[in-house]
Amino acid sequence: MDTAALDGAILEFIGRGVDQPRDEGAFNALALRLFAHQFAHNLPYRRLCERRGRTPANVTDWRQIPSVPIGAFKELTLACAPADQAVAVFMTSGTTHKERRGKAYHTTLELYDASMRPNFGAHVLPDGARLPFLVLFPPPSILPNSSLAHYLDVALSSFGAAGSGWFMGEKGLDRAGLSEALREAEGTGRPVGLLGASFAFVHFLDDCAGRGVRFRLPPGSRIMDTGGFKGRSREVGREDLYRVFSETFGIPDTSIVNMYGMTEFSVQFYDVTLRRHAAGRPPGRFKVGPPWSRTRIIDPETGAEKPAGDVGVLLHLDLANRNTVSAILTEDLGRAVEDGFELLGRVTGAEARGCSMAIDEFLSTSRR
């Protein structure tokens, strides 16, 4: 199968944009084409598919494509091309076991970047604003294996206005430099975008609280946080964090967006909050993916899809994940809401056992 032709088809589909009509036929055809490619070239994945009796010969719907448990990326090289052909290797943080880090191999970043740009623009900049981005995360020069560092770098290079910059580096968070940039925005009346991991925001918010400092950023300013508390000094509930965002920066809740993404995926999922506000629609805070992704809520023990409204484990299918696997079973809980899903936290209890069973099945098959 011609990889370049497959990439071209995926890029063409993505190029139709976030607002393209949901063409289930075209999505299904491309998902099956991608499945056939990954079945042919990703040996551990092919073994799993064969054990489940799912092959390109009998899979006719994208929902039938076998998924890989996300924990398997810590144990195996899940790639269609040899690892030494990768132009980028994104790794999970490894906060619990640094010797066991999930790895995603990319032979090109064109698909990742093409997927990121329109989705980011639609949900973080739905009004078409061009803002200076103040980033609370280290750049790729410091974290070359971080998918988030690359993602934020693409955001700056593609959408950031003059005055954009990184405010976290080898010495940690540049509190003084960030405070100065925020005061400058107040003085000039020019709105800014704050982008970064939640734990970095918490450190800056703690510093502001300790000094009794608050800002009143110009209208049109916004915040995009990316989660990422695991293994950090302390955790703050989402509602509490956003309340403190509003109090400290003077930014309304409708201008705060959470991005949910993972190292193992090329797609990101965003709160609809800012996009709905910009369109004059009723408020809402749930996640949506772009048309080149699909999300199912499943029972990890049976693989059956949960009824609408029931809590289950999130399973995402990402057409931009060409070199690894397109369908991945996460360890995140959620439920379907309108045309998206609510993210409810990490798996526990029966869900955790189900995810462990999925990993055990995969490893016992793929290591033969």
Residue 194 in tokens: 């704050």
Helical H segments across the chain, by residue range? 3-15, 24-41, 43-51, 110-124, 147-159, 175-188, 198-211, 238-249, 273-278, 349-366
- Tens of pLDDT along 239-273? 888 999 999 999 999 999 999 999 999 999 999 99
Alpha-carbon gap, residue 41 to 115, rounded angstroms: 23
Query: Which pLDDT score is estimated for 301?
Result: 83
- Tens of pLDDT along 154-207? 999 999 999 999 999 999 999 999 999 999 999 999 999 999 998 899 999 999
- Tens of pLDDT along 264-306? 999 999 999 999 999 999 888 999 999 999 999 999 888 899 9
The label of the residue with tokens 């920066």 reads 249
Alpha-carbon gap, residue 21 to 68, rounded angstroms: 28
Q: Over 60: is that where the pLDDT of 362 sits?
A: no
Query: Which pLDDT score is estimated for 348?
Result: 76
Within 10 A of 58 (CB to CB), how many other CB atoms are there?
Answer: 8
The label of the residue with tokens 């076998």 reads 66
Q: What is the DSSP string of 218-283?
A: PTT-EEEE----TTSS----HHHHHHHHHHHH---GGGEEEEE--TT-S--EEESHHHHHHTTPPP
Determine the average pLDDT of the residues in 127-144: 97
Is residue 219 a contact partner of residue 236, using CB atoms and an 8 Å limit?
no
pTM of the predicted model, to two decimals?
0.92
At residue 49, the 3 state secondary structure works out as: helix
- Tens of pLDDT along 54-81? 999 999 999 999 999 999 999 999 999 9
Determine how β-strand 165-166 pairs with β-strand 256-260: unpaired
Q: Over 60: is that where the pLDDT of 226 sits?
A: yes
